[in-house]
Amino acid sequence: MLKGKKIVLGITGGIAAYKAAELTRALIKEGAQVKIIMTKCACEFITPLTLQTLSGDLVYTDTFAPAVKWDMAHIALADFADAFVIAPATGNIIGKIASGIADDLLTTTIMATDKPVLVCPAMNDKMLANPIVQENIKKLKKHRYQIMDSAYGELACKVTGAGRLPDTPGILEEICKLLSPATLDGLKILITAGPTEEPLDPVRFITNSSSGKMGYALARVAKRRGAQVTLITGPTALTLPPADKIIRVRTAREMHRAVLDNYKMAAIIIKAAAVADYRPAVMAKEKIKKNKESLSLMLERNPDIISEIGRNKGRRIIAGFAMETENLLANAKEKLKNKKMDFIIANNLREEGAGFQADTNIITIIDKNGQVQKLPKMTKIEAAGAILDRISSVINKKGAIKK
Ligand code: PMT
């Protein structure tokens, strides 16, 4: 998402300035081009050389420094950026921006830009709670500034309270949000992800290899685009993505119940979960002993969740996945029709880099009118973006169910 994006990072003079080094590294790792402005006080906490080394570029500290090539740094940086991030942002910089003060390179550049600006406050808890600081934050929010909530925890001054710089993954997620189109703004979306587990006895179960990556990528991108996300997830080993509501389930029947309880308020339903079609007819109360040469299991059908909501979908958009090992398009088209979906996303587990576990997928999006869009191998985050692009193009025409 941040590949090729141009980020100007402003660092101000608080103890959390050292964390800007980690943020710079993470931005570079994500493929962003980073230019850094440090205030005079920031240079007391961390050296420009550290940031220069990590960003691979000169660090700007002085409005009146002799230029390497002729430009007006504050205007050139304001134009260069796709987005600005101020991390950490002290009470002082927040106050200056809120008051229209431009007395150094960072404040003049911020004043000169019309690009999105993310402010990440970090300071002592009492300073943060100060009504003047709070008023300034409110003022910035009223204008075009995005303000992250400071994290709660132990502060450098050894007290526990609000005022810590949000963690690096949280800041990266906010930057991605800032740079994403708000195409799902105000829409409620329900996403299922991961495998289900169907217990045989207290220690064994039938499952599949779904990692949850595809469904979590959809939840993450939908949230970035402004949707209100409910995620219903089977058991996975992943860190949960940002979502408004998360329901953890284990079996197909639990997922069925959770979907039925939550789908009505959703405008969009995407079923990326790999749901077990069958479960053991009986779950043994105690661990099954190996006292026979062979063992037969009786399986019975699980509810087909997507078919059930397909029959009662009203104006909702329903997208499912088809996980195939042969006849990809024919099988996917049949599922699309039988399960009354608006879209089906077909992925072939036999293709390298597609389906279970991988960070990539190779998907074909088919809509109910038979239009087929075959996409090349891409990350699951990019695939999620492509799926949500298609869905938002129809939902906006259709007049969606809003919050
Ligand atoms: O989680 P990852 O490791 O990232 O892997 C991603 C994935 C391969 C699991 C994902 O891309 C995918 O293909 N998910 C759907 C898997 C699946 O169950 O496909 P299916 O063809 O068996 O089912 C078709 C659709 O019906 C699916 O949307 C499924 O969620 C739904 N279904 C299936 C059975 C059932 N009882 N109820 C359902 O709602």
Are residues 271 and 375 located together in one domain of the fold? yes
403 falls within a domain: no
Question: Is 393 a member of any domain?
Answer: yes
Asked whether residue 271 falls in the same domain as residue 314, the answer is yes
CA separation, residue 10 to residues 84, 104, 133, 183 (Å): 7, 12, 19, 29
Q: Which domain holds residue 33?
A: 6-179
- Tell me if 292 is assigned to some domain: no
* pLDDT value for 72: 62
Count of structural domains within the chain: 2
- CB neighbour list of residue 249: distance below 8 Å, 6 or more residues apart: 196, 232, 233, 234, 255, 257, 258
Distance 346 CA to ligand 1 centre (A): 10
- DSSP alpha helices (H): ranges in 187-278? 213-224, 252-262
Token pair 């205007």 is found at 75
In testing the pocket of ligand 1, which one of 251, 306, 313 has its CB within 8 Å of the most ligand atoms? Answer: 306
Catalytic residue among 43, 120, 157, 176, which? 157
Last residue of a domain, which of 132, 155, 179?
179
For residue 146, is it within any domain? yes
Mutate to test the pocket of ligand 1, among 275, 279, 352, 364 (most ligand atoms within 8 A of CB): 275
The tens-digit pLDDT sequence of the chain (403 residues) is 899 999 999 999 999 999 999 999 999 999 999 999 999 999 999 999 999 999 999 999 976 665 556 566 678 888 899 999 999 999 999 999 999 999 999 999 999 999 999 999 999 999 999 999 999 999 999 998 999 999 999 888 888 999 999 999 999 999 999 999 999 999 999 999 999 999 999 999 999 999 999 999 999 999 999 999 999 999 999 999 999 999 999 999 999 999 999 999 999 999 999 999 999 999 999 999 988 899 999 999 999 999 999 999 999 999 999 999 999 999 999 999 999 999 999 999 999 999 999 999 999 999 999 999 999 999 999 999 999 999 999 986 555 454 4
Pairing of strands 299-301, 278-280: antiparallel
What pairs with residue 274 in β-bridges? Answer: 195
Domain final position from 122, 147, 179 = 179
The CATH number for 351's domain is: 3.40.50.10300
Looking at the structure, tell me whether residues 257 and 320 fall in a common domain.
Answer: yes
How far from 276 is each of 143, 237, 321, 399, CA to CA, in Å?
A: 49, 18, 14, 34
Q: Are both 173 and 70 inside the same structural domain?
A: yes
Same domain, residue pair 192 and 97: no
41: annotated active-site residue:
no
Q: Are residues 142 and 56 in the same domain?
A: yes
3-state helix vs strand vs coil in the chain, percent to 5: 35, 25, 40
Distance from the CA of 322 to the center of ligand 1, in angstroms?
6
Q: Is 232 domain-assigned? A: yes
The confidence score (pLDDT) of residue 1 equals: 83
pTM: 0.91
| Residue after which a domain boundary falls, among 179, 208, 227 | 179
Nearest-atom number in ligand 1 for the CA of 301 is: 36
Q: How much distance in Å is there from the Cα of 215 to the middle of ligand 1?
A: 10
CATH code of residue 41: 3.40.50.1950
Tokens of 102: 């431009």
Count of CB atoms within 10 A of residue 20's CB? 30
Using a 6 Å cutoff on CB, does residue 277 contact ligand 1?
Answer: yes
Tell me whether residue 292 is exposed, middle or buried, using C-beta atoms within 10 angstroms of its C-beta: 0 to 12, 13 to 18, 19 or more.
Answer: exposed
Cα of 343 vs centre of ligand 1, distance in Å, is 13
pLDDT at position 67 is 58
Mutate to test the pocket of ligand 1, among 207, 210, 326 (most ligand atoms within 8 A of CB): 210
Q: Counting atoms of ligand 1 from 1, which one is nearest the CA of 324? A: 21
Residue 403, pLDDT score = 42
Ligand 1 centre and the CA of 387: distance in Å?
A: 15
The answer to whether residues 203 and 163 belong to one domain is: no
Q: What is the pLDDT of residue 69?
A: 60
**Which residue's CA is the closest to the ligand 1 atom numbered 36?**
304
pLDDT at 285: 95
Q: Are residues 201 and 83 in the same domain?
A: no
Q: Would 1 be classed as within a structural domain? A: no
The predicted structure's pLDDT at residue 76? 84
User: Are 321 and 344 contacting, i.e. CB atoms less than 8 angstroms apart?
Assistant: yes
User: CA–CA separation, 37 vs 296, rounded Å?
Assistant: 68
Q: Are residues 199 and 155 in the same domain?
A: no
The answer on 204 and 80 residing in a single domain is no
Q: Are residues 218 and 307 in the same domain?
A: yes
Q: For atom 35 of ligand 1, which residue has the closest CA?
A: 304
Which residue's CA is minimally distant from atom 22 of ligand 1? 323
User: Quick one: 345 and 230 in the same domain?
Assistant: yes
